[in-house]
């Protein structure tokens, strides 16, 4: 027992650092991707926006299709080897990206990043399979702060590296860091839960993905909830800097203020996730999920009505707390309501739905802002989360109980 505890504790420590680097890799190109595209040819303003949009979206689209495949492979071969191949694959693609001189080669490179982006959900599935289920909320919440911190640091680090060196050299540096992640994953991580041999032979999987679960409706509702919550988050990304510019009337350190406001949800998420996960372990993950949705609606809705930079900053900080109540709790409920042999699949599908949420969210935010203005993005996001809450309330009454569904 003590040896098993030592294994998952070390894995948690190592994978926290590795998911931190993976989070950086996913987010650090944001500040200079459009600038890098502009260096690949002579494009009009409309063409540049078009290429930036499809190159941003393609990685999420490919991730949505590839994540279940990585989960299935992990179920057969084990998570550790998949961690090695996904990190190593991303490293190679990032290094090759530094050599591209065509916008379409960059498009395929970003698709390659999406193809190998199974690292974080497989790290989460490995830890989830090893930890005591009564503590999984706190532990998964802690692990998620690794990737969240990386995503938070990534844009700042990426912009700094691109400024000091160049965009191309930043790709090389990122590739080198991911190679280190691949090596650490295969040398330091220990997988005490063996791959399920019966699944490798194809026995239990014949009934389909949802047939593995006692409550398939709950699993499907939770996956759709992941998509909607991520859609809400991503709907803000394309317009946050433009909204800040509008609130500052086009004057002042707009990019710095926009960067700070963008970082605020990540800061509060890191602070709140482990504590909220521990609350869910003690009082029920279903109760925490319901509270998280109500809180999210309350903090998104006012962002559409108050044209104040200070109020926007405070409310964006509170958004991070709502995310800390929602994302880890959904994963905890998936963990507690899945058999061990299905964890690889369910975490992979969760990433797939999250990637679709990122893609559709960016398109949704841009379209709503274009037709109705920036304020409408926040209001529509609040309404989406409210619809998601109603769906959970009526389709899964068990979540209303303190200790239901884990």
Cα angle value 350/325/312 (rounded, 5°): 110
pLDDT at residue number 198: 42
* Window from 30-34, 87-91, 309-313 with minimum mean pLDDT: 30-34
Q: What percent of the chain has pLDDT over 70?
A: 89
Task: Answer yes or no: do 145 and 226 share one domain.
Answer: no
Task: Answer yes or no: do 163 and 232 share one domain.
Answer: no
CB atoms within 10 A of CB 404: 16
Query: Which token pair is 122?
Result: 């497989």
Judge whether 302 lies within some domain.
yes
pLDDT at residue number 6: 78
Task: Answer yes or no: do 26 and 151 share one domain.
Answer: yes
Task: Answer yes or no: do 308 and 347 share one domain.
Answer: yes
Backbone angles phi, psi at 110, to 5 degrees: -70, -35
Task: Answer yes or no: do 263 and 162 share one domain.
Answer: no
| Range from 85-99, 199-213, 273-287, 293-307 that averages highest in pLDDT | 85-99
**Angle subtended by helix axes 374-395 and 216-236, to nearest 10:** 170
Q: Could you report the per-residue pLDDT of 186-205, keeping only the tens digit for each?
A: 999 988 655 554 444 444 44
The C-alpha atoms of residue 390 and residue 372 are separated, in whole angstroms, by 25
pLDDT at residue number 401: 62
Final residue belonging to a domain, choices 161, 190, 219: 190
Contact residues for 354 (Cβ-Cβ < 8 A; gap 6+): 226, 227, 230
Task: Answer yes or no: do 20 and 72 share one domain.
Answer: yes
Judge whether 256 lies within some domain.
yes
Band of residue 259 on the pLDDT scale cut at 50, 70, 90: low
Judge whether 309 lies within some domain.
yes
pLDDT at residue number 404: 47
* Window from 143-147, 153-157, 225-229 with minimum mean pLDDT: 153-157
pLDDT at residue number 239: 67
- Whether the per-residue pLDDT at 314 is higher than 50: the answer is yes
Task: Answer yes or no: do 173 and 232 share one domain.
Answer: no
Query: Which token pair is 104?
Result: 């379409």
Between 384 and 246, residue with greater pLDDT = 384
Q: What is the pTM of this model?
A: 0.74
Judge whether 199 lies within some domain.
no
* Window from 194-208, 321-335, 351-365 with minimum mean pLDDT: 194-208
pLDDT at residue number 53: 72
Return the C-alpha torsion angle 35, 37, 42, 46, nearest 10. -90
Q: Indicate which CATH number applies to the domain containing 245.
A: 1.20.1250.20
Place of tokens 């209303």: 400
Final residue belonging to a domain, choices 190, 224, 257: 190
* Average pLDDT for the chain: 83
| Range from 51-65, 172-186, 333-347 that averages highest in pLDDT | 172-186
Task: Answer yes or no: do 280 and 365 share one domain.
Answer: yes
CB atoms within 10 A of CB 198: 10
Judge whether 201 lies within some domain.
no
- Whether the per-residue pLDDT at 9 is higher than 90: the answer is no
Q: What is the mean pLDDT of residues 229-234?
A: 87
Band of residue 387 on the pLDDT scale cut at 50, 70, 90: very high
The C-alpha atoms of residue 123 and residue 191 are separated, in whole angstroms, by 11
Task: Answer yes or no: do 149 and 249 share one domain.
Answer: no
pLDDT at residue number 308: 85
- Whether the per-residue pLDDT at 321 is higher than 90: the answer is yes
- Whether the per-residue pLDDT at 256 is higher than 50: the answer is yes
pLDDT at residue number 47: 78
Task: Answer yes or no: do 107 and 239 share one domain.
Answer: no
Final residue belonging to a domain, choices 190, 223, 242: 190
Judge whether 233 lies within some domain.
yes
CB 225 within 8 A of CB 392: yes
Q: What is the mean pLDDT of residues 211-239?
A: 85
Q: What percent of the chain has pLDDT over 90?
A: 29
The C-alpha atoms of residue 225 and residue 202 are separated, in whole angstroms, by 29
Task: Answer yes or no: do 239 and 338 share one domain.
Answer: yes
pLDDT at residue number 319: 92
Q: What is the mean pLDDT of residues 38-61?
A: 80
When divided into structural domains, the chain yields a total of 2
Task: Answer yes or no: do 172 and 262 share one domain.
Answer: no
Judge whether 316 lies within some domain.
yes
Band of residue 386 on the pLDDT scale cut at 50, 70, 90: very high
pLDDT at residue number 171: 92
Judge whether 266 lies within some domain.
yes
The C-alpha atoms of residue 389 and residue 16 are separated, in whole angstroms, by 30
Between 13 and 133, residue with greater pLDDT = 13
Residue span of the structural domain in which 321 resides: 210-406
pLDDT at residue number 205: 46
């Amino acid at each position: 027992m003590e040896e098993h505890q030592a294994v998952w504790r070390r894995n948690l420590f190592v994978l926290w650092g590795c998911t931190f680097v993976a989070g950086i890799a996913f987010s650090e190109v944001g500040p200079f991707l459009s600038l890098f595209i502009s260096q690949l040819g002579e494009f009009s303003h409309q063409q540049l926006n078009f290429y930036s949009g499809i190159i941003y979206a393609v990685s999420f689209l490919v991730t949505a299709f590839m994540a279940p495949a990585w989960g299935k492979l992990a179920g057969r071969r084990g998570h550790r080897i998949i961690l090695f191949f996904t990190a190593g694959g991303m490293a190679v693609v990032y290094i090759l990206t530094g050599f591209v001189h065509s916008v379409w080669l960059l498009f395929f490179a970003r698709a390659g990043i999406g193809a190998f982006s199974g690292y974080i959900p497989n790290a989460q599935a490995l830890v989830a399979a090893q930890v005591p289920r009564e503590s999984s909320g706190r532990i998964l919440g802690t692990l998620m702060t690794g990737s969240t911190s990386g995503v938070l640091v990534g844009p700042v680090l990426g912009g700094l590296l691109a400024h000091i060196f160049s965009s191309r050299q930043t790709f090389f540096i990122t590739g080198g860091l991911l190679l280190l992640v691949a090596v650490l994953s295969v040398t330091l991580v220990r997988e005490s839960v063996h791959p399920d041999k019966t699944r490798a032979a194809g026995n239990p999987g014949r009934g389909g993905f949802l047939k593995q679960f006692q409550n398939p409706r709950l699993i499907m509702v939770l996956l759709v909830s992941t998509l909607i919550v991520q859609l809400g988050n991503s709907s803000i990304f394309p317009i946050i800097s433009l909204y800040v510019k509008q609130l500052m009337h086009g004057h002042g350190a707009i990019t710095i203020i926009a960067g700070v406001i963008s970082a605020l949800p990540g800061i509060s998420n890191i602070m709140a996730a482990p504590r909220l996960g521990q609350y869910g372990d003690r009082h029920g993950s279903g109760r925490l999920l319901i509270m998280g949705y109500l809180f999210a609606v309350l903090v998104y809705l006012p962002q559409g009505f108050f044209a104040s930079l200070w109020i926007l900053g405070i409310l964006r900080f509170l958004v991070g707390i709502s995310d800390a109540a929602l994302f880890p709790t959904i994963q905890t409920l998936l963990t507690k309501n899945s058999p061990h042999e299905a964890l690889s699949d369910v975490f992979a599908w969760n990433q797939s739905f999250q990637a679709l949420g990122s893609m559709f969210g960016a398109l949704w935010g841009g379209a709503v802002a274009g037709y109705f203005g920036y304020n409408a993005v926040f209001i529509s996001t609040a309404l989406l989360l409210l619809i998601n809450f109603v769906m959970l309330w009526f389709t899964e009454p068990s979540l209303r109980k303190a200790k239901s569904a884990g």
